[in-house]
């Protein structure tokens, strides 16, 4: 059963106050992630370091890797040089890379010098890959086998080296030049005859990517093929390392958060909300709002241009908010569906004309329905004004059709231009639809009302 972290925090705080440190060891949770959460939620920084030092050595590294990056950095500032050396050398290469890449250059240099020669070589190789590449997530801790090995030899090899590897469930088969030739699961090794060679039982059609592949693209490959581990190769198919599913989950979470922020017209924020700098939040949130205010000002120019029409038919202004809101909502619906389709690869750039045609039909159908609703709405409020009702209804239908097409087309155009489709956010599409919708409304009203 999962421990109650809040109660444990209170109990540990009381024990620290009473200097009963030995008793803290007895009440620490078993799982490293629970200990990490407990440390993270302690209010006093000194208490966090104290509890971490009471964690048994065989679990301390795992606990450290479950801490948030900011907590890891703060922890390293309080530990001795030997403690830091032990932690950095025992950390998984991908976890260590993630920690180092967020630190100042002089600190990174200091910590790299604390690594053993072998670990320093691995760290430098990984840090040399671009920040957004899957190479930054590589771990070289995989089990490698050879085609001429027997299943018996392979299992013996796994027993000897597996304890220090990231995973033993999938083993990679290499030739003498380290080229990737196949993959074999632990299940197949166990269930096949001991004298069978690896070449007889391995799977040769291995899905692999290059080290410079974008993290998000690698994550999509994970999802598409339902993988647990993804091998990373160089241009000559030599196996550089592997990336495990838990590392790509973090990438997917970061990408989803970034997309949500952009859809809400917020520049991506690197830190959690409660830890983000106040002035940074002001800038991140105000940038798009300033852009949208400038764009939205065009609608006031359109309204001003039709001032004479409004003076003759004051009732036209009554239904302007309804028209604007309906068009914006229709555009957001369309945009969200297409952005989601692009993210999951259900929609591709080559489908542009198909998508636009489909949304045109949907826009017409929905526009007709909403035009009828709008017409009835005006008839009820402005009894006897049939031409006014017809103007509002037709304008609403045309605006919805335009919004649906715009919401579908712009995200695909952004993807074609190699920009993030999420930049074509709901507020931005709503603003464009507002301006065009007002123009359509008054043009139709002028035509049908003879103004």
The pLDDT tens digits of the residues spanning 152-202 come to 998 998 888 877 777 788 888 888 888 888 889 888 888 889 889 888 888
Q: What is the DSSP letter of 384?
A: T
**Statement to judge: residues 64 and 100 lie in one domain:** yes
**Statement to judge: residues 118 and 151 lie in one domain:** no
- Record the tokens describing residue 66, joined without a space: 């479950």
Last residue in a domain, options 70, 95, 130: 130
Please state, in angstroms and as integers, the Cα–Cα distance from residue 362 to each residue in 250, 337, 368, 397, following that order. Answer: 36, 13, 10, 11
Residues 92 and 89: their CA atoms lie apart, in Å, by 8
**Does residue 376 lie in a domain region?**
yes
**Does residue 363 lie in a domain region?**
yes
**Among 252, 249, 244, which residue's Cα sits nearest to residue 138?**
244
**Statement to judge: residues 415 and 312 lie in one domain:** yes
| Counted domains in the chain | 3
Last residue in a domain, options 102, 130, 158: 130
Q: Which domain holds residue 17?
A: 5-130
**Among 221, 239, 235, which residue's Cα sits nearest to residue 173?**
239
Distant-in-sequence, close-in-space partners of 56: CB < 8 Å, separation ≥ 6:
25
**Does residue 194 lie in a domain region?**
yes
Buried (b) or exposed (e) across 388-411, using 16+ Cβ within 10 A?
bbbbbbbbbbbbbbbbbbbbbbbb
**Statement to judge: residues 166 and 102 lie in one domain:** no
Radius of gyration for the alpha carbons in the chain, expressed in angstroms and rounded: 30
Q: Which pLDDT tens digits describe the chain residue by residue (451 residues)?
A: 556 777 777 888 888 787 777 787 777 877 888 888 888 888 777 788 888 878 877 788 888 888 887 788 878 877 778 878 888 888 878 778 877 777 777 777 787 778 888 888 888 788 788 878 888 888 888 888 888 889 899 899 888 887 777 778 888 888 888 888 888 988 888 888 988 988 888 888 888 888 888 887 888 888 778 888 888 888 888 888 888 877 777 776 666 666 655 555 555 555 565 566 677 667 766 776 777 777 777 777 777 777 777 777 777 777 778 778 888 888 888 887 887 777 777 788 888 888 888 888 887 888 788 778 777 776 776 665 677 777 778 888 888 888 888 888 888 888 888 776 665 556 777 788 888 888 888 888 888 776 6
pTM higher than 0.75, yes or no? no
Bridging pattern class, strands 209-210 and 180-185:
unpaired
Residues 182 and 167: their CA atoms lie apart, in Å, by 16
**Tens digits of residue pLDDT in 346-382:** 788 888 888 888 888 887 888 788 778 777 776 776 6
- In degrees rounded to 5, what are phi and psi of residue 218? -65, -40
- Record the tokens describing residue 358, joined without a space: 């489909």
Supply the CATH number for residue 23's domain. Answer: 1.25.60.10
The HSE-up count of residue 62 (CA atoms within 13 Å, CB side) is 12
Planar angle of CA 207, 211, 213, nearest 5 degrees = 75
């Amino acid at each position: 059963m999962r421990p109650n972290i809040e109660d444990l925090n209170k109990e540990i705080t009381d024990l620290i106050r009473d200097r009963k440190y030995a008793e803290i060891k007895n009440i620490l949770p078993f799982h490293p992630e629970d200990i990490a959460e407990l440390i993270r939620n302690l209010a006093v920084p000194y208490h966090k370091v104290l509890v971490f030092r009471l964690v048994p050595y065989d679990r301390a590294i795992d606990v450290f890797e479950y801490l948030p990056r900011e907590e890891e950095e703060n922890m390293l500032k309080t530990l001795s040089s030997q403690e830091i050396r032990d932690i950095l050398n025992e950390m998984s290469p991908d976890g260590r890379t993630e920690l180092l890449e967020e630190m100042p250059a002089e600190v990174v240099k200091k910590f790299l010098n604390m690594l053993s020669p072998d670990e320093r070589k691995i760290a430098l190789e990984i840090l040399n890959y671009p920040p957004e590449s899957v190479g930054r997530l590589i771990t070289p801790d995989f089990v490698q086998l050879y085609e001429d090995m027997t299943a018996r030899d392979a299992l013996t090899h796994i027993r000897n080296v597996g304890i220090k590897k990231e995973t033993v469930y999938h083993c990679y088969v290499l030739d003498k030049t380290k080229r990737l030739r196949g993959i074999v699961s632990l299940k197949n090794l166990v269930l096949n005859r001991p004298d069978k060679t690896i070449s007889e039982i391995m799977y040769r059609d291995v899905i692999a990517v290059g080290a410079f592949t974008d993290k998000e693209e690698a994550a999509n490959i994970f999802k598409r093929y339902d993988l647990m581990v993804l091998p990373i190769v160089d241009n000559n198919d030599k196996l550089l390392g592997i990336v495990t599913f838990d590392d790509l989950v973090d990438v997917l979470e970061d990408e989803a958060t970034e997309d949500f922020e952009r859809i809400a017209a917020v520049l991506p924020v690197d830190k959690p909300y409660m830890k983000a700098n106040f002035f940074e939040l002001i800038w991140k949130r105000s940038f798009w709002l300033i852009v949208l205010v400038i764009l939205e000002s065009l609608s006031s120019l359109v309204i001003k241009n039709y001032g004479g029409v409004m003076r003759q038919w004051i009732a036209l202004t009554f239904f302007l908010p309804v028209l604007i809101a309906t068009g914006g909502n229709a555009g957001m619906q369309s945009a969200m569906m297409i952005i989601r389709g692009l993210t999951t690869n259900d929609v591709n750039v080559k489908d542009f004309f198909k998508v636009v045609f489909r949304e045109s039909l949907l826009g017409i159908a929905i526009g007709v329905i909403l035009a009828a609703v709008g017409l009835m709405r005006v008839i009820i409020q402005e009894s006897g004004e049939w031409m006014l009702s017809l103007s509002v209804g037709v304008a609403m239908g045309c605006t919805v059709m335009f919004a649906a097409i715009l919401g579908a087309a712009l995200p695909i155009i952004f993807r074609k231009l190699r920009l993030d489709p999420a930049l074509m956010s709901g507020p931005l599409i709503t603003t464009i639809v507002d301006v065009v919708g007002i123009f359509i409304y008054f043009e139709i009203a002028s035509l049908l009302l003879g103004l």
